[in-house]
Chains A and B, each alone.
Chain A
Amino acid sequence: MSLAKRIIPCLDVDNGRVVKGVKFVDIRDAGDPVEIARRYDREGADEITFLDITATHDNRDTIVHVVEQVASEVFIPLTVGGGIRTLDDIRRMLNAGADKVGINSAAVSNPEFVREAAERFGSQCIVVAIDAKKTSLPGEPSRWEIFTHGGRKPTGIDAIAWAKKMVDYGAGEILLTSMDRDGTREGFDLPLTRAISEAVTVPVIASGGVGNLDHLADGVLEGKADAVLAASIFHFAEYTIEQAKQHMASRGIEVRL
């Protein structure tokens, strides 16, 4: 009897539509985030994360409507990330029914924003998203650095020190993405995940690189992650969330079935 490790499907949303597509037989509109969220909820997702990649500020309202609709019928925790830069952005998402917001580049450019956000809304709803890339050379002790702008822009900030600082500033959870693994389907960067998870007191969500169900289990068993996030393996109906949970359970991981 203990706390279950969480499986979190992530939807990339652009102008209110899911991008990268999905492939479910029972879904009429594969780009509708509400329909996809409903499906993940039925399959037993522990939470759902929306990543808003809408480029233009004018179209940001679309994600608010998506969250409102999903929150009216899906009763599990919802996280929204992407474009969260002000306390007002956070308030709008929470009022729409989000439970947590993910803060990424705004935290890098202004760490005080995380402190203000946690003080205003509580640490429980502040997830700091960290995009990290390995910068040490072969043979050197491992070192990872924070990157922004989708992994293109180095910051010189050490990932472990940054994660600790963000927790000190009030982050209630860390969403850790390996920019080396994101999109590769080779599995999480397990040494990175473990280093961050063991360095901070708050839960860590592993992200980036999942290509099969063993990768999810490895993230928990070897990476020491508290939750695992994946997109494509669920979108393309390669695996259902239920299958993912059964597999994790078969490897001795406590899950909510």
Chain B
Amino acid sequence: MSSVAVIDYGMGNLHSIVKALQHAAPEVDVACVADADAILRADRVVFPGVGAIRDCMQALNQSGLSAVIQQVAESKPLLGICLGMQALLTDSEENGGTPCLDVFAGHVVHFPEALTDGEGNSLKIPHMGWNQVHQLHPHPLWKNIPQDSRFYFVHSYYAQPDNAAVMAATTQYPEAFTCALAQDNVFAVQFHPEKSQAVGLQLLKNFLHWDGHVL
């Protein structure tokens, strides 16, 4: 039986992601773990997160999990979700500037103030709801997910990677921003697959069957 570790570092509830992973692939052993050894023993690792980046990084640094995640990023399939994606960049401008894990070179920035759509209606922050995900390249995690499918988002900051080659998908709000990153065995998404109904479950299923190689 293959296993997936959901990193539990005290940021938000993991109920949804655990249930969704179990639902997506009942044959996989899903466990919430806070312990470095257990994370390193698992076949795959999910790095979730909600809330503020400063609290997130503080929890990771104090528990020693920062180094563990960096090690996982070098060795086995890793899926970052929402704040778990943002934490993989070099730094975030949230909370007055917060150094992050630097798995992907780049920054996390806030949506510009006073956004408007084409008709002059103001766009709300957080970017909350179902928006289209435009896949930029084929990838095992996009298997059986139609181009421009809608996933559920809720966030006010987004990733700006230095290297455009790691961009896996973009979403428009109103300009295109990077909503998914991919590099070798690491995949990260700004949206919540565990809250995105059928397409979300499909992405989780794809991750749970992924060997960490890109096509």
The answer on A and B forming one complex is yes
Give the B-binding residues of A (Cβ under 8 A).
1-6, 41, 46, 71-73, 75-77, 94-97, 99, 121-125, 172-173, 198, 201-204, 224, 226-227, 256
Q: Considering the chains assembled together, what is the distance between the CA atoms of A99 and B17 in angstroms?
A: 11
Q: Considering the chains assembled together, what is the distance between the CA atoms of A99 and B82 in angstroms?
A: 14
Q: Is the interface of A mostly helix, strand, loop or mixed?
A: loop
When C-beta atoms are compared, the residue in chain A nearest to B172 turns out to be: A1
Q: Is the interface of B mostly helix, strand, loop or mixed?
A: mixed
- Considering the complex of A and B, which 9 residue pairs feature the smallest CB-CB distances, nearest first? A122-B51, A256-B130, A97-B15, A4-B130, A94-B13, A256-B150, A203-B124, A3-B131, A124-B154
Task: Choose one: B130, B134, B196; the contact of A3 (CB below 8 Å).
Answer: B130
**A residues in contact with B152, CB < 8 Å:** 76-77
Residue pair B13, A73 in contact (C-beta under 8 Å): no
Residue pair B20, A202 in contact (C-beta under 8 Å): no
Type the 1/0 row for B6-19, where 1 means its CB is closer than 8 Å to any CB of A.
00000011011001
**A residues in contact with B23, CB < 8 Å:** 72-73, 75
Q: Considering the chains assembled together, what is the distance between the CA atoms of A256 and B13 in angstroms?
A: 26
Find residues 171-193 in chain B having any chain A CB closer than 8 Å to their own CB. Answer: 172-174
When C-beta atoms are compared, the residue in chain B nearest to A96 turns out to be: B15
Q: Is B163 located at the chain interface by the 8 A CB criterion?
A: no
Q: Is B37 located at the chain interface by the 8 A CB criterion?
A: no
Residues of B in contact (CB 8 Å), total 39
**A residues in contact with B15, CB < 8 Å:** 71, 94-97
Task: Choose one: A4, A73, A226; the contact of B150 (CB below 8 Å).
Answer: A4
**A residues in contact with B148, CB < 8 Å:** 1
* Given A77-B195, A224-B121: A172 in contact with B51 (beta carbons within 8 A): no
Task: Choose one: A2, A73, A95; the contact of B172 (CB below 8 Å).
Answer: A2
Residue pair B16, A71 in contact (C-beta under 8 Å): yes
Shortest Cβ distance from residue B59 to the other chain A in the assembled complex, whole angstroms: 14
Residue pair A75, B197 in contact (C-beta under 8 Å): yes
Determine which residue in B52, B130, B150 has the highest number of CB atoms from chain A within 10 A of its CB, and name it. Answer: B130
Shortest Cβ distance from residue A158 to the other chain B in the assembled complex, whole angstroms: 21
Residue pair B52, A75 in contact (C-beta under 8 Å): no
Q: Considering the chains assembled together, what is the distance between the CA atoms of A2 and B23 in angstroms?
A: 29
Q: Is B34 located at the chain interface by the 8 A CB criterion?
A: no
**A residues in contact with B12, CB < 8 Å:** 94, 121-122
Residue pair A46, B129 in contact (C-beta under 8 Å): yes
**A residues in contact with B174, CB < 8 Å:** 2
Determine which residue in A2, A71, A227 has the highest number of CB atoms from chain B within 10 A of its CB, and name it. Answer: A2
Q: Considering the chains assembled together, what is the distance between the CA atoms of A154 and B9 in angstroms?
A: 44
Q: Is B50 located at the chain interface by the 8 A CB criterion?
A: yes
Task: Provide a sorted-by-A list of 9 A–B residue pairs whose CB atoms are within 8 angstroms.
Answer: A1-B172, A4-B130, A72-B19, A75-B197, A76-B196, A77-B152, A77-B195, A97-B19, A202-B126
